[in-house]
């Protein structure tokens, strides 16, 4: 298989461009949103093409499109920037290595290893610690640990809860992460557990999972909340029109693999519909997922212009270093924490304190 990346304003356009060039035998590898040097966001869709089809199409297209030339120039610039970053990283590493070599008690090395063993990336630690070169903190383990924890606290981002205007809140994420249960918790919170009772409705897009409508419908009946299911963009628009008097519309989507082309393109169509209300797309991410999978999940869902991450399954792990590392590297805001299966009790507004307390407990 041969790989090629297509760039367009939307992931659907980029994917359609790939289909026009190579047909339907392609396989989607990834889709992500990238901010280019001109400040504009573009969608990059990477696909895999059977080698025989790739060679056939390449040989029959002798003229190089202008877009390809422009992209090549951009790639050259990015490569130069990448080389510069690598050189800076090597300089930082040399500085840190020199400090470790001259430290009698190897405090820096021990503290770094403590955090690395708990899941924090060496690169992030090096970026934070390089500013301490020559500082006496490097010889005091407790002070150094406290400094790193303060830097973690400063780096984490929280999406403040704001319900000042009507909105659509859509949850996306991989299969089995707990979207439907989390939506029920959010509905109970907004409708019954705040200073003001908001008018809430469910809109279900999950027509793939057997019983998905019944599960959300069960919660809707208990909480006396309007519940509509749709499976096309047109029905989605009609559903939103029907629910226009509601304060909050909670949208449940199909759980999908980050590599599921069919569901990927269909979800894009829903998100990019011409809708009158503000739509907030929240990625539901399990605290138990390993870093490599978190990375793939985020990169392949980022094309949806994510507003925040909701973390689920806190009750299924005591080790949060991997999750913390992910949040530090990607700097995407956290909005809610799902800490158990009970509806509505096991839902918290995201806080740095909660996450750091759990991490420090594991660190000790």
By residue count, the chain amounts to 364
Task: Work out the average pLDDT over 107-126.
Answer: 89
Question: Which residue in this structure is represented by tokens 């507003």?
Answer: 307
Angle between helices 141-155 and 122-129 (to 10 degrees): 110
pLDDT exceeds cutoff 90 at 333: yes
pLDDT exceeds cutoff 70 at 248: yes
pLDDT exceeds cutoff 80 at 108: yes
Task: Work out the average pLDDT over 115-135.
Answer: 85
pLDDT score recorded for residue 103? 45
Alpha-carbon dihedral sign for residues 48, 52, 57, 58: positive
C-alpha closest to that of 44 among 67, 76, 66: 67
Three-class SS of residue 169?
A: strand
DSSP assignment, residue 314?
A: G
User: What is the widest separation between alpha-carbon atoms in the chain?
Assistant: 71
Task: Work out the average pLDDT over 59-75.
Answer: 50
Q: Write the CATH number of the domain with boundaries 2-63.
A: 3.30.1660
C-alpha closest to that of 31 among 229, 306, 250: 306
Using CA atoms, how far residue 214 sits from 56, 210, 283, in Å, is 49, 9, 23
Three-class SS of residue 19?
A: helix
pLDDT exceeds cutoff 70 at 38: yes
pLDDT exceeds cutoff 60 at 349: yes
Cα 121 from Cα 324, distance rounded (Å): 10
Query: Domain extents for the chain?
Result: 2-63, 74-155, 167-363
Task: Work out the average pLDDT over 117-145.
Answer: 85
pLDDT exceeds cutoff 80 at 187: yes
Q: Tens digit of pLDDT for each residue in 80-100?
A: 666 666 655 555 555 555 544
Cα 244 from Cα 239, distance rounded (Å): 9
Q: Would you say the CATH fold of 167-363 matches that of 2-63? A: no
Regarding pTM above 0.85, the answer is: no
Q: Tens digit of pLDDT for each residue in 262-271?
A: 555 556 556 6
Task: Work out the average pLDDT over 165-178.
Answer: 88
Determine contact, residues 299/264, Cβ cutoff 8 Å. no
Q: Write the CATH number of the domain with boundaries 167-363.
A: 3.40.50.300
Task: Work out the average pLDDT over 126-149.
Answer: 85
Cα 59 from Cα 61, distance rounded (Å): 6
Strand order in the sheet with 27-35: 2-8, 41-49, 27-35
pLDDT score recorded for residue 276? 67
Cis previous bond, 108, omega within 30 = no
Mean pLDDT lowest for which of 89-93, 124-128, 249-253? 89-93
Determine contact, residues 280/245, Cβ cutoff 8 Å. no
**50 exposed, middle or buried (CB, 10 Å; 0-12, 13-18, 19+)?**
middle
Three-class SS of residue 31?
A: strand
pLDDT exceeds cutoff 70 at 129: yes
> What DSSP string runs through 117-135?
HTT--HHHHHHHHGGGTT-
C-alpha 98 chain-centroid distance = 36
pLDDT exceeds cutoff 80 at 147: yes
């Amino acid at each position: 298989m041969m790989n090629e990346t297509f760039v367009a304003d939307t992931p659907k356009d980029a994917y359609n461009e790939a289909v026009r060039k190579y047909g339907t035998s392609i396989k989607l590898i990834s889709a992500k949103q990238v901010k280019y040097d001109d400040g504009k966001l573009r969608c990059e869709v990477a696909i895999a093409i059977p080698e025989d089809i790739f060679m056939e199409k390449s040989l029959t297209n002798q003229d190089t499109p202008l877009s390809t030339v422009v992209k090549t120039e951009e790639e050259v610039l990015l490569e130069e920037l990448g080389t510069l970053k690598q050189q800076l990283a090597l300089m930082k590493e040399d500085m840190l290595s020199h400090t470790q070599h001259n430290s009698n008690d190897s405090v820096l090395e021990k503290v770094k290893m403590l955090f690395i063993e708990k899941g924090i990336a060496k690169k992030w630690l090096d970026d934070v610690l390089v500013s301490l070169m020559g500082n006496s903190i490097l010889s005091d383990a407790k002070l150094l640990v406290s400094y790193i924890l303060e830097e973690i606290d400063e780096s984490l981002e929280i999406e403040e809860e704001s319900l000042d205007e009507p909105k659509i809140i859509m949850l996306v994420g991989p299969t089995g992460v707990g979207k439907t249960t989390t939506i029920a918790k959010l509905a109970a919170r907004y409708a019954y557990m705040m200073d003001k009772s908001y008018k809430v409705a469910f809109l279900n897009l999950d027509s793939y999972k057997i019983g998905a409508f019944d599960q959300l419908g069960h919660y809707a009946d208990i909480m006396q909340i309007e519940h509509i299911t749709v499976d096309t963009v047109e029905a989605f628009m009609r559903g939103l029109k029907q629910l226009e008097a509601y304060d909050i519309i909670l949208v449940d989507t199909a759980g999908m693999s980050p590599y599921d082309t069919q569901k990927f393109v269909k979800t894009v169509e829903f998100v990019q519909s011409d809708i009158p209300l503000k739509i907030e797309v929240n990625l539901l991410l399990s605290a138990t997922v390993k870093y490599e999978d978190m990375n793939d999940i985020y990169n392949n869902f980022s094309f949806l212009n994510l507003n925040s991450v909701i973390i689920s399954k806190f009750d299924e792990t005591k080790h949060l270093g991997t999750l913390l590392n992910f949040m530090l590297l990607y700097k995407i805001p956290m909005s809610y924490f799902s800490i158990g299966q009970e509806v509505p009790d096991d839902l918290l507004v995201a806080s740095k304190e909660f996450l750091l307390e759990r991490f420090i407990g594991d660190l000790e």
